[in-house]
Amino acid sequence: MSLRGLIFCLAASLLAAVPARAQTGYDRPGGDYSNVPVRSGDPAACAARCEREGRCRAWSFSYPNTVQTGAVCWLKNQVTARVENSCCVSGVKGAGVLERKSGPIEFSIDRTGGDLRNMDVETDPAGAPCEAACKAEERCRAWTYVRPGYLGPSARCFLKERLTRPRHKPCCVSGVVR
């Protein structure tokens, strides 16, 4: 086998070993054969539904108050090109929803309790307005941004004066500042 062939085979095997992941902030327009409401508002429920259906090849999950009033799972019979769009999370069959759990921004994490105050904020997929409000408030130690549609029609920001235990919830994006 030539060196070029060996490098190609090695690269292909490395790519095959990398697990598929859903892509937060992307939609896959077209190819829909079904759509169903997702009462839990959790993109993982959409990925699981695609896994159970034989003809599903890809899926897109839209958060509440983006495409429709409630969260919706769009099942697709073909893998269409992904398009950047903060409304959605999308993936191909076999792609679980994997979001970062640590770092300055905690996706799908709620820090319940310890509230200093709360307010409506501008919609932002990473909760930037909420993070900025916390950094501007000396007593604020952490924050939780709740996406629109989970508590009401607009996005809501909760500034925290004490740290609380992180809990997995698809509604939210959180962070610790101090």
**CATH number of the CATH domain containing 150:** 3.50.4.10
pLDDT digits (tens, 9 = 90+) for 53-62: 999 999 999 9
Q: Where are the alpha helices (DSSP H) in 35-159?
A: 43-52, 128-136
Asked if residue 164 lies in contact with residue 157, where contact means CB atoms within 8 angstroms, the answer is: no
Whether residues 117 and 73 share a domain: the answer is no
Residues spanned by the domain of 84? 20-92
Q: Is residue 82 part of a domain?
A: yes
**Among 28-32, 90-94, 95-99, 143-147, which is the least confidently predicted range?**
95-99
Percent of the chain with pLDDT over 90: 66
Q: Is residue 15 part of a domain?
A: no
Whether residues 57 and 110 share a domain: the answer is no
Q: Give the torsion through C-alpha atoms of 56, 33, 20, 16, to 10 deg.
A: 60
For residue 4 the two structure tokens come to 């070029």
Q: Is residue 97 part of a domain?
A: no
pLDDT at 1: 55
Domain count, the chain: 2
Give the chain's radius of gyration (CA, Å): 19
pLDDT digits (tens, 9 = 90+) for 103-162: 688 988 999 999 999 999 998 888 999 999 999 999 999 999 999 889 988 999 999 999
What is the C-alpha to C-alpha distance for residues 76 and 27, in angstroms, rounded to an integer? 12
